[in-house]
Structure 1
Amino acid sequence: MSKTIDDVVIAGIDANFEGWVDHEGRRVLAPGVVPGDRVDLEVVASSQHHPRDFARVARVHARGEGFEQPVCAHAGPVRGRCGGCPGMHVRAPLRAQILQDRVTELLGERRLRWSWHEAPQQLGYRNRSNFVVTRRAGRLLLGSYAPRSQDVAAMSGCQVVRPMLSRVQAELEVRLGALNVPVGDEEQGLRWISVRAAGLPGAGESVVVELVVREPQAAWLGAATEAIMAIEGVQGVALTVNDRDTNAIRVDASGTLAGECQLIERYGEVELAIDPGAFAQLNVEVASAMYRQAARWVEGAQVIWDLYCGIGGLGLNAAVGRTNVHLFGAESVASAIESARQNAARAGVTARYRVVDLGSANWRAACPDEGVLARPEAILINPPRKGLSRPMREVLSKPASLGAKMLVYMSCDVASFVRDADALEQGGWHLVELQAHDMLPQTTHVELLGRFERA
């Protein structure tokens, strides 16, 4: 049975943008509130391991000065049920302060001056959306899972994506609905749709639509592909097969159904070709600023290693336009390495790329061990959210054996960055400069760019 807590004042707000109040020896957390809000709460769940309860707002008596009405009609839980922007109800200065406090807390006792960088745009920045496909009241709906639920929340008119994506989403709902395309677990059902945009908004912007299905020979695919290609701005339709019972959207490579499925986007000083399933930063402007900064930091290095290089953006920005620069890139995904080679050729950069399992114990042996590339002067790393693998930390923590004098670490998770920084500093590196970027405004995400020098 649920429990109600009447007429309480929210005392604080945490790094997940959830407000809290201490009540009867337990901390009660609730989304959609800010310090100073006077509300009635309904406890909906309790932790069995900590004195902590989770609640929803049953009634609002008054709002604190840090609250603002979300501009998006779907922002949960204040106006809707979408959980994609948990900080949209928090005024911008408070939201920025919460994110900065999280960085400060995790950095701990380090005496390090670091800088905070706001995103140029708080809305309309995101270049990709993934949609769950379902049906509601007989109509096809592209939405997202509501927080802690398998219920699908509407996303039409999403405020953080590029306007082009919202327009394409609306047309997809109408056109695929008119074809009565099966969805979800229905026979031959369409499970997810991913839509990515590239190019200058409003000036030659292009879109690729990726369909994720259980059955690659679904009878409706031909008509659906034709209908999607008729949408203005769509340059290609891709297909991904996923017949597994998993929350992962992609478990295999994508294929082309129609048109051209490789988009070209300019990140920093380099144009990158992006395949449907490839990773590319969702906020082009912020990523470009970070790539340019990393390039400035390593501009004196002649031999550069780009580890976890992906499709090449970070390393190519450091090498483009420079003479006598030797660039080596390593990545575990073969398709990303092939894209990196294409992108290097497009940028006029001579680079050597290799598929390397960067989580394996002998990853270093797969990298150059003779010739000019054998001893890098600077190393660029941009690992996934979990951070560096243990073998990677062990090798990088011996900078003298590598020859490197500088290391630049781009991170999408503050906690894993701090863990890795501890290991690197114990091994002989010194973190001398750090930038924190608001990569995905309205969310809890902070992107870090750190410069390490050999101690």
Structure 2
Amino acid sequence: MSRRRRKPLPQEPMRCEIVALSHDGRGIARNNGKTGFVDGALPGETVMAKVVSTRSKFDELRTLEVLAPVAERQTPPCEYADLCGGCSLQHMDGDAQIRFKENTLREHFAHFGGIEPEHWEPPLRSEASLGYRRKARLGVRYVKARESVLVGFREKRNSFLADIDHCAVLDPRIGERIRPLRDLLHGLEAYDRIAQVEVACGDDVAVMVFRNLDPLSDCDRDKLIAFGQAHDLHIYLQPKGPDTVHRIWPASDGPASERLSYRQPAFDLTFQYHPMDFTQVNAGLNRDMVARAVDWLDPQPDERVLDLFCGLGNFTLPLARKAGQVVGVEGDDAMVVRGRENAALNGIDNVAFHGADLHGDFTGQAWAREGFDKILIDPPRSGAEEVCRYLTAFGARRIVYVSCNPATLARDAGVMVQNGYRLVRAGVMDMFPHTTHVESIALFERADA
């Protein structure tokens, strides 16, 4: 049986009137009754665009020329904005980006939860829109036809790596070293056996973790060490899984020495973490986010507070500065250990960290039986629908929910309201400027409180 041939894509550019913006930041146009999603276009604009993919119900297009720009359009701060998929909103000014994210959260609340907060809070803005990103996973690929190595993020809407020499949104300790990193990898004997480079930056130290598919020669190790010395970077290798990550420069004095750190001056706290641990990518915004969460929760010296999905204690320890007792709960045992280490580091003794499966009913656990006055929850992108069904068992008067996915926040907010809570406040936080990622925060109070 012969396969049906795909219809060739139209070669002539198409004139598009952009009527709206999709949740992934693309302009929406209607052409002959068919929807088009147009990269690089903003609502109210008229653009000439090229069809790059077609489906039965919609086309995907890329802007070639803006015929009638809107005031919100700006010149992208990065020369690779049209190619690299790391950012998708660089052509939109900062105020418009924030409005887009606020509208996204509003629409999700209306669509999934059928609710709206009593008060919309002003957005938390990032103190820097460039050079803010402290963690990333950079792809590495040897391109045989070009006899060169590419390092960076994927191109927009395909699996190819973008050909870049620097990155404007990465911490400059990393972003300004993409070209030297490419040259380094090209000069290795294992030039085609490095799969990726994880990068992590603390307040004082920046790290590169090289995922080497095969053992490296002494010559290659020496080149990596020399690169770290020349660029003031700590160098790690990951020969297999995450548990095999180890530092080769500077020489390691054991696991305790392989730590980065960041500070929370407002709470007189220092956090230490392993380069592969989860931390927030935007240090400045994280400081403001934690301050807002603690302010909204308003813990008192006589109260017990629960912090779910607590990680290394990013919210737990600031809460412990205010509350009588704080319990941090996390599904990753390694992060439970990290939380305890950070509590000890900061001399905090009114906090306890526990590991638990947060996808089931945990209300019978020993640490949960005394109940809690207030709760903070910071789940992954999948949200915490099941958790929200159990929270009423604790009788908490106030709950703060920090979210990295407006769709699951809206869904879970509906569960909370059904279980006797009011959605009092909500707002967005610009954790990832120039991207469509929407970080948000919501405050719930018990309806009978």
* TM-score > 0.5 by shorter chain: yes
Q: What are the ranges of 5 or more consecutive residues in structure 1 without an aligned counterpart? A: 184-188, 200-204, 243-249
Q: Distance in 2 between matches of 1:329 and 1:316?
A: 9
Query: TM-score with structure 1 length normalisation?
Result: 0.86
CA pair 90-132 structure 1, distance change in 2 beyond 3 A: same
Which position in structure 2 is the counterpart of 1:349? 348
Change (3 A) 1:100 1:435: closer
SS at match of 1:129: strand
Residue identity opposite 2:85 in structure 1: G
Cα offset for 1:223? Answer: 2.3
Question: Which residue of structure 2 lines up, in the alignment, with residue 69 of structure 1?
Answer: 75
Q: Cα 1:420–1:369, aligned 2, differ >3 Å: closer, same or farther?
A: closer
Structure 1 residue 367, shift from structure 2 partner: 4.8
Tell me the distance in 1 between the aligned counterparts of 2:308 and 2:363: 11
Task: Tell me: CA distance 1:293–1:39, structure 2 relative to 1, closer, same or farther (3 Å).
Answer: closer
Task: Give the secondary-structure state (helix, strand or coil) at the position aligned to 2:363.
Answer: helix
- State how far apart, in whole Å, the 2-side matches of 1:216 and 1:431 are: 54
Q: Which residue is 1:418 aligned to? A: 410
Distance (Å, rounded) in 2 between the aligned partners of 1:56 and 1:354: 49
**2:404–2:437 CA contact under 8 A, matched in 1:** yes
- 2-structure distance, mates of 1:385, 1:24: 37
Q: RCO greater where, 1 or 2, for CA within 8 Å and sep 6 or more? A: 2
Tell me the distance in 1 between the aligned counterparts of 2:445 and 2:186. 57
Counterpart-to-counterpart distance in 2, 1:74 and 1:62: 23
| TM superposition shift of 1:221 | 5.2
CA contact (8 A) 1:29 1:54 kept: yes
**Identity fraction in percent:** 24
TM value normalised by structure 2 = 0.87
CA distance in 1, matches of 2:159, 2:16: 30
Name whichever of 278-287 and 12-21 sits farther off: 12-21
**Equivalence for 2:330:** 331
Partner secondary structure for residue 312 of structure 1:
coil
1:133-152 alignment runs, 5 A limit: 133-136=140-143, 137-152=146-161
Task: Determine the structure 1 residue equivalent to 2:4.
Answer: none
Alignment of 1:364-403 (within 5 A): 364-369=363-368, 374-390=370-386, 392-396=387-391, 398=392, 401-403=393-395
Q: 1:175·1:227 contact (CA, 8 Å) conserved in 2?
A: no
1:239 aligned partner: 237
Q: Distance in 2 between matches of 1:110 and 1:58?
A: 39
Residue 9 of structure 1: SS of its match in structure 2?
A: strand
Letter in 1 for 2:137: N
Q: How far is the alpha carbon of 1:58 from its aligned partner? A: 4.2
In structure 2, the residue matched to 1:126 is 133
Q: Secondary structure at the match of 1:222?
A: helix
Q: Is contact 1:337-1:355 (8 Å) kept?
A: yes
1:92-131, aligned counterparts within 5 Å? 92-108=94-110, 109-115=115-121, 116-131=123-138
Give me the whole-angstrom Cα distance separating, in 2, the residues matched to 1:369 and 1:21: 52
Separation of aligned partners in 2, 1:167 and 1:91: 23
Q: 1:255 to 1:411 in 2, by over 3 A?
A: same
Residue deviations 1:311-368 (CA, integer Å, cap 9, x gap): 1111111113x4x721211111111111111111122212211111111x34333451
AA at the equivalent of 1:331: E
Q: What residue is the counterpart of 1:202 in the other structure?
A: none
Aligned to 1:428: 420
Structure 2, gaps ≥5 residues long: 1-7, 251-256
Tell me the distance in 2 between the aligned counterparts of 1:30 and 1:191. Answer: 32
Letter in structure 2 aligned against 1:46: T
> Which residue of the partner structure matches residue 186 of structure 1?
none
User: Residues 432, 11 of structure 1: CA spacing in aligned structure 2 closer, same or farther, 3 A cutoff?
Assistant: closer
Candidates 82, 85, 89, aligned match of 1:83: 85
The aligned counterpart of 1:165 is 174
Q: Residue 168 of structure 1: CA displacement?
A: 3.8
Tell whether 2:188 aligns with 1:192. Answer: no
Instruction: Specify the code of the residue in structure 2 equivalent to 1:106.
Output: H
Q: Distance in 2 between matches of 1:257 and 1:172?
A: 17
CA distance in 2, matches of 1:155, 1:311: 33
Separation in structure 1 between the aligned mates of residue 104 and residue 16 of structure 2, nearest angstrom: 26
Cα deviation for residue 39 of structure 1 reads 2.8
Aligned-residue offset at 1:198: 1.5
Conservation of the 8 A alpha-carbon contact between 1:2 and 1:42: no
User: 2:60 matched to 1:54?
Assistant: yes
Given that 2:117 and 2:426 are in contact with CA atoms closer than 8 Å, whether structure 1 keeps it comes out as no
- Contact 2:18/2:28 (8 A) holds in 1: yes
Alignment map for 1:288-367 (pairs within 5 Å) = 288-296=287-295, 297-300=297-300, 302-320=303-321, 322=322, 325-350=324-349, 351-359=351-359, 361-367=360-366
Higher alpha-carbon deviation: 1-10 or 250-259: 250-259
Question: Structure 2 CA distance, aligned partners of 1:452 and 1:60?
Answer: 44
Indicate the structure with greater strand content.
Answer: 1
How well do the aligned residues superpose, as a CA RMSD in angstroms?
Answer: 2.3
